């Protein structure tokens, strides 16, 4: 198989057959909790904050009647966000087949279905999207990859194939949005000589210390991530952001936004009149202080948002 940049004809160094099975097994085994159960969770605050950030991002970078592609869509947790954004169609892809079944089920139970969906099992960081999803669905207006693009950073092949896929199926002027762990924060902690850090809610553990905080390659910089009740020591990869932006340029993706969750949140509350929504979502108190505990906030602060435009 070949693409314009030749990335699909590249030899598969390890066929991408490494951590993806552990990742898939992990996400497939996550229970499909009800809304009531989620409200009782010890990470309810983390979930609310993350959902708030994703809603904002989707709202800012999609338009009514868009067709959206959600890579690593999981159990379809963003379905309502897309509904509110007024899109016409949503394609969801995930390697976890059981999660895809949950996503289909969630859509089937939605009261308002004013857009079409197509949920597919596949690895969009390795395989051609046109082999996973019916090609008639392309091109799309927006590609969203929430809390998942760091899995593409396992090998050069995966990363290039992921970017080639995204660039190829996006319309010119279309957006590629996502949420990833903030590499600047990871590097800051590494430079302090830490190999492992976190709190009672989350933990990040590198196998070796790296006090220079530099990486020889853009890919393969592995650590284990744990988030109480959500992610149990799953292998993840650093997204060295500057290098990511440079590589994305090769695929005609131009950076429009990169902010930590906290900066993005505070700016939105200041500029976008969403304080009341943040209060209703139990993120902020009336006096503007956080209604979420310190340790949960620290877990939220691990992440950053990005938005690229296909040029």
Which residues are at the interface with ligand SAM (CB under 6 A)?
Answer: 20, 23-24, 27, 72-74, 77, 94-96, 99, 123-125, 146-148, 151
Query: Would you list the DSSP string of 239-291?
Result: --HHHHHHHHHHTTEEEEEEEEHHHHHHHHHHHS--HHHHHHTTSB-TTSSBS
Q: Which is nearer to ligand SAM, 230 or 253 (CB)?
A: 230
Q: What is d(CA 86, CA 80) in angstroms, rounded to the nearest whole number?
A: 10
Q: How far is the CB of 80 from ligand SAM (least distance, A)?
A: 12
Q: Which is nearer to ligand SAM, 97 or 242 (CB)?
A: 97
Q: How far is the CB of 93 from ligand SAM (least distance, A)?
A: 6
| CA neighbor of 109 nearest in space, from 140, 73, 83, 145 | 83
Q: How far is the CB of 209 from ligand SAM (least distance, A)?
A: 26
Query: Would you list the DSSP string of 201-234?
Result: SEEEEESS--TT---SSSS--EEEEEETTTEEEE
Q: Which is nearer to ligand SAM, 45 or 74 (CB)?
A: 74
Q: Which is nearer to ligand SAM, 102 or 310 (CB)?
A: 102
What six digits make up the tokens of 198? 């976190």
- Work out the number of other CB atoms within 10 angstroms of the CB of residue 103: 25
Q: What is d(CA 216, CA 73) in angstroms, rounded to the nearest whole number?
A: 30
Q: How far is the CB of 106 from ligand SAM (least distance, A)?
A: 11
Q: Which is nearer to ligand SAM, 148 or 186 (CB)?
A: 148
Q: What is d(CA 223, CA 291) in angstroms, rounded to the nearest whole number?
A: 30
Q: What is d(CA 254, CA 248) in angstroms, rounded to the nearest whole number?
A: 7
Q: Which is nearer to ligand SAM, 146 or 167 (CB)?
A: 146
Q: How far is the CB of 61 from ligand SAM (least distance, A)?
A: 15
Kindly list the distances between the CA atom of residue 48 and the CA atoms of 118, 208, 271, 278, 304, in Å, as whole numbers in the listed order. 26, 33, 20, 9, 16
Kindly list the distances between the CA atom of residue 47 and the CA atoms of 103, 125, 126, 229, 282, in Å, as whole numbers in the listed order. 18, 25, 29, 11, 11
Q: Which is nearer to ligand SAM, 73 or 268 (CB)?
A: 73
Q: How far is the CB of 230 from ligand SAM (least distance, A)?
A: 7
Q: How far is the CB of 95 from ligand SAM (least distance, A)?
A: 4
């Amino acid at each position: 198989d070949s693409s314009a940049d030749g990335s699909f004809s590249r030899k598969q160094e390890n066929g991408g057959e490494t951590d993806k099975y552990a990742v898939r097994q992990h996400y497939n085994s996550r229970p499909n909790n009800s809304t009531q159960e989620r409200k009782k969770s010890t990470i309810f605050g983390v979930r609310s904050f993350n959902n708030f950030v994703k809603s904002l991002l989707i709202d800012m970078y999609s338009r009514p009647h868009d067709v959206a592609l959600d890579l690593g869509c999981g159990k379809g947790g963003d379905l309502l966000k897309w509904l509110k954004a007024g899109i016409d169609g949503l394609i969801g892809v995930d390697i976890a087949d059981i999660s895809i079944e949950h996503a289909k089920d969630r859509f089937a139970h939605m009261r308002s279905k004013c857009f079409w969906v197509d949920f597919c099992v596949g690895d969009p960081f390795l395989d051609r999207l046109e082999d996973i999803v019916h090609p008639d669905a392309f091109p799309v207006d927006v590609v969203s990859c929430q809390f998942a693009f760091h899995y593409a950073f396992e090998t050069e092949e995966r990363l290039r194939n992921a970017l080639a896929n995204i660039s190829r199926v996006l319309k010119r002027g279309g957006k590629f949005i996502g949420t990833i762990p903030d590499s600047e924060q990871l590097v800051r902690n590494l430079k302090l000589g830490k190999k492992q850090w976190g709190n009672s809610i989350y933990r990040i553990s590198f196998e070796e210390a790296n006090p220079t905080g530099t990486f020889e390659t853009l890919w393969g910089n592995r650590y284990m991530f744990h988030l109480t009740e959500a992610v149990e020591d799953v292998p993840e990869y650093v997204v060295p952001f500057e290098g990511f932006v440079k590589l994305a340029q090769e695929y005609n993706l131009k950076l429009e936004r990169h902010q930590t969750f906290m900066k993005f949140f505070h700016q939105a509350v200041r500029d976008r009149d969403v304080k009341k929504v943040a209060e209703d979502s139990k993120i902020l108190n009336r006096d503007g202080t956080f209604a979420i505990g310190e340790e949960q906030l620290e877990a939220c602060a691990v992440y950053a948002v990005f938005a690229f435009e296909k040029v």
